[in-house]
Structure 1
């Protein structure tokens, strides 16, 4: 059984293309001479079609141009133990897959040493990052990207919301991205989110010695696979791309890392007090 993040992304793309044409599975099956059960398993990611089968489906659905190319990038290496997107089309599909996992998550663990985690960012904080020199984001895309990132909060506000464990490095609180006032409002927002029942926010102070968090940021997402089991992925990002891991050993390693970081973090109450004190100092600083 496949069900890798890339297989799920491919299946979702095929299902979306079919539904947009208002074609039923049985109609598509008859048109390309494929069993409806096979098509269904392809769309759920339980099985992976060969690239030629993907091309056949897309041709039948009149999918052309850039979209055809984007979906075809998902048809290769679908069962590999990691998903490293190196081209822009595949990066777009990977981001779509990540957002889908996040929306359906039961639990999210996010460690962010230098920036406020994306799901907890305010719109002004996001805009400041996206419009800063060197961000290299076209002005025409800023508004839509802000909306997409703000939309990630749906994972925390939906019916049966995900539980979020946010482990935030002390340095992330003092960057003053967008200026002092933007940062103050961002810190206030963190305090508001920390009061939610499904959000546990902990600050990881400096000078705690070595811990796995010093190796960089990561996000661990757990989603229901069956009523009694979970599927998990780990996303590790850098400036150019994101690596998605799903093998049991990899996920277990990052789960262990998150527990070690949790062990050197401040409890929720002390974390909230830490943020409140920082807000007070920033509001009263006259340098």
Structure 2
């Protein structure tokens, strides 16, 4: 089995902790690097999550900065987690920030949405329909407002390919399809529809491709999000995405039943 790349979400969390530990002591990056006896470039790569520091380097930094024992243990657990190809987080603010960091670092993103249109692409009519289906009598204005707030937090960077299952359009087919056709013309965004006959029984997933061909798969399961970086599992999801893409059609070519 191929050796796994460092678990990217854990690497991002670790880099943030190292940066916060330094800045809380009022030390500049170059000054700390000099005191540690490492290059400023290496320390910068560690603090930006572009390179994984050795566990000895993490211990050296934390010891020099005299972080609390609780913080030391927490950060060291993050470093050990880098070697674990699976990371699980709850769908809370911390997990959301990890996904946001993945979005910002990804050069390409591939998303399979078989059941629900991704939030940044949903129309008000679509939000109303799924809100009514989910909760019966709901405050639709509030639902739309909350959706718009989440949209602001999900700005997309890099190139993104989104495969939407035809079943996902059902709550409001025509207005949603028109919106997807318009969005498909945006630069850096490719949207395709997977007809029911071609859609596999596959749960939704997102593949993030970082620099250097480092891939992370994000899977949502109930109240958790699972990040997978194990190469064989990643390759399986990439193959599934390519198979779905081959069977998909453009938004302009798709015709609703």
Which deviates the most, 106-115 or 238-247?
A: 238-247
Q: CA deviation at 1:96?
A: 1.6
Q: CA deviation at 1:93?
A: 3.3
Kindly report which structure 2 residues correspond to 1:46-61, keeping only aligned pairs within 5 A, or say none.
Answer: 46-49=52-55, 56=63, 60=67
- Aligned counterpart, 2:166: 170
- Aligned counterpart, 1:74: 78
When normalised by structure 2's length, the TM-score is 0.72
- Aligned counterpart, 1:113: 114
Find the residue that maps to 2:96 and give its secondary structure: helix
Q: CA deviation at 1:25?
A: 2.6
Residues of 2 paired with 1:170 and 1:10: CA distance? Answer: 39
Which deviates the most, 44-53 or 102-111?
A: 44-53
- Aligned counterpart, 1:218: 205
Q: CA deviation at 1:186?
A: 4.4
2:149 to 147, 150, 153: 147
Q: Is 2:75 aligned against 1:100?
A: no
Q: Which segments of 5 or more consecutive residues in structure 2 lack a partner in the other structure?
A: 137-141
Find the residue that maps to 1:153 and give its secondary structure: coil
Q: CA deviation at 1:116?
A: 0.7
Change in 2 beyond 3 A, CA 1:171/1:268: closer
Q: CA deviation at 1:111?
A: 0.3
Q: Which segments of 5 or more consecutive residues in structure 1 lack a partner in the other structure?
A: 135-139, 156-161, 177-182, 279-287
Q: Is 2:234 aligned against 1:254?
A: no
Over the aligned positions, Cα root-mean-square deviation in angstroms equals 4.1
CA contact (8 A) 2:165 2:193 kept: yes
Q: CA deviation at 1:149?
A: 3.7
Find the residue that maps to 1:215 and give its secondary structure: coil
Q: Is 2:223 aligned against 1:240?
A: yes
Q: CA deviation at 1:201?
A: 1.2
What's the CA shift string for 1:97-140, capped at 9, x where partnerless? 22112123221110011101234235786698789549xxxxx9
How many pairs are equivalent? 241
Change in 2 beyond 3 A, CA 1:166/1:70: farther
Find the residue that maps to 1:191 and give its secondary structure: helix
Residues of 2 paired with 1:259 and 1:112: CA distance? Answer: 14
